[in-house]
A and B are shown apart, each in its own frame.
Chain A
């Protein structure tokens, strides 16, 4: 009985870490930079594919790829925000108009990135095998790569949490999240901070994708959208801007997904959706926010 429970608990948590990470990224982009980034999942996909390419063509292990992917995707997000969203924000008639426009723009971005990936990598489903040996934990069996992704996601999440709390940039981000105008008055270079947040968002998406590629052998250029949805649901579950909430929410969703997939594979997205609908109707500010 205990074994079964542990099996479910850990199995659920494994994906939960990745869910949490991508939710934190999405939350940064929507909560601070005020961009509802529908293309978030595409960057997750890109992270997965970059890792796959580096592994299969150059033998670079995923954990080492992280050293390249993190800054690379951070830069991509930062640049995209600077050259597109910053001027869009300036020319939008109101914050509400900017939110609408940036969401639509991200929809366009979705198609740009997805089709770019289709051109580069084509339609076939990809996968690679790394650290795929079994590990025994209290009688249950798990794949080593899954355990590594769980540990990695917790480490990354904690690192970012510490970053937000103790560094100047982190504090600037938190100020901008609360009140961008007040923050600007206090000397925060708001445009730079917003671009940083967007960059962190794409970075976390890519890292999430990297970790995902370690555990999934079904990588496809069209896989992004479902992860965008998962990120959205976790953010609604855990509260916008709440890192701990995102982790709790991510684990809950991971657990639900694991339980549902073991009895009815293919229905996990539906289960997430039901949760989403339930949350929106009952407590759209998140279950875990005060």
Chain B
């Protein structure tokens, strides 16, 4: 149970973190700015993923589709609209896509939903590729890149937003409904929860932030085509990070995302394919030996200290 001291402590830690972040471009090298932007991107993707998949237990593998939608929306609009608007539009496009897909496929069993989300990345990529080849005639677009600092602050803003939304959802009646859905959809339904709508809306909200992140990051990449925008790796990484870190408390996905984005940063230039292979192996190891992630290990240790009773009452 969270005591007042705990809550106060987390809040202070967060404020400190934000204060540090805000100051980064002022006194850190541009390499650090870019690195932290990357870390924040993964933190946002993982937190977003956890907003929906953690409480409901529906594993979404579509993160790359929503991220990519944001990237693409940005590619199409960035030359004509200011950055914040582009980010919101990117997020909204992903929101809409997720709401549509969710409304249709969330009535089904979890496994069918997962299967469908797995293919969504390919589906969107294929469709866009065909569209670009046959209708617009350009495959690949050049983006006018934005200032690294602008990208950084945008990502900080998105991070704060997703954190706030995650926190508010957990404490609201909506969060209660999500929890109940994860435990027993039938009981939730009979308690008055509009299960399909709650799932679809939450799925869409999580997609919004993924799209926003994509719209922001595309400014860095200068050249976008459907293949680079829709990369299944962006579906894999948030899942890996959430599983490694855990999803119960808000700190867990953040920790997982930070660890792996730093690892990726260190390994990607020297061992391009090897690092993804290692990540795959880590995923296997975590699932096999640490199913509740790092957080599970930490919480177990905390409980052992509290010596919680297991007597039934």
Contacts and interface: CB of A to CB of B under 8 A. Distances in A.
* A–B interface present (Cβ within 8 A): yes
Given A111-B283, A226-B122, A264-B130, A119 B104 contact: no
A132 interface: no
B110 to A, nearest CB: 7
A266 B130 contact: yes
A112 interface: yes
A99 interface: yes
Contacts of B240: 108
B281 A270 contact: no
B280 A284 contact: no
Contacts of A75: none
A167 B145 CA distance: 64
Interface string A247-277: 0000000000000000010110110010011
B114 A36 contact: yes
B236 A107 contact: yes
Interface string B100-133: 0000110111111011101100110011011001
B274 A115 contact: yes
Main secondary structure of the interface of B (DSSP, over half): helix
Interface in B129-160: 129-130, 133-134
Contacts of A119: 273-274, 277
A88 B59 contact: no
Contacts of A91: 288, 291
Nearest to B110: A100
Question: Looking at A87, A91, A108, A119, which has the most chain B CB atoms within 10 Å of its CB?
Answer: A108
B111 A99 contact: yes
B296 to A, nearest CB: 13
Interface string B270-304: 00011011011111100110010000000000000
Given A112-B277, A232-B115, A270 B126 contact: yes
Interface residues of A, number: 41
Nearest to A93: B291
B280 A112 contact: yes
A115 B273 contact: yes
Query: Among the interface residues A100, A105, A107, A229, which one has the most CB atoms of the partner chain B within 10 A?
Result: A107
A281 interface: yes
Nearest to B129: A266
B130 A267 contact: yes
B283 A108 contact: yes
A119 B243 CA distance: 26
Contact of B236 (A111, A236, A273): A111
Given A229-B118, A284-B112, A100 B288 contact: no
B61 interface: yes
A110 interface: yes
A216 interface: no
A225 interface: yes
B108 A104 contact: no
B283 A105 contact: yes
A94 to B, nearest CB: 12
B57 interface: yes
Contact of A111 (B116, B130, B133, B279): B279
Contacts of A114: 276
A116 interface: yes
A100 B114 CA distance: 10
Interface string B61-92: 10000000000000000000000000000000
A115 B232 CA distance: 13
B277 A105 contact: no
B287 A105 contact: yes
A101 B291 contact: yes
A108 B281 contact: yes
A281 B277 contact: no
Given A104-B243, A276-B119, A281-B104, A116 B287 contact: no
A269 B129 CA distance: 12
B239 interface: yes
Interface of A: 36, 38, 84, 87-88, 91-92, 99-101, 103-105, 107-112, 114-116, 118-119, 225-226, 228-229, 232, 236, 264, 266-267, 269-270, 273, 276-277, 280-281, 284
11 contacts: A36-B114, A84-B284, A91-B291, A107-B283, A108-B240, A108-B287, A109-B280, A115-B273, A225-B118, A264-B134, A281-B104
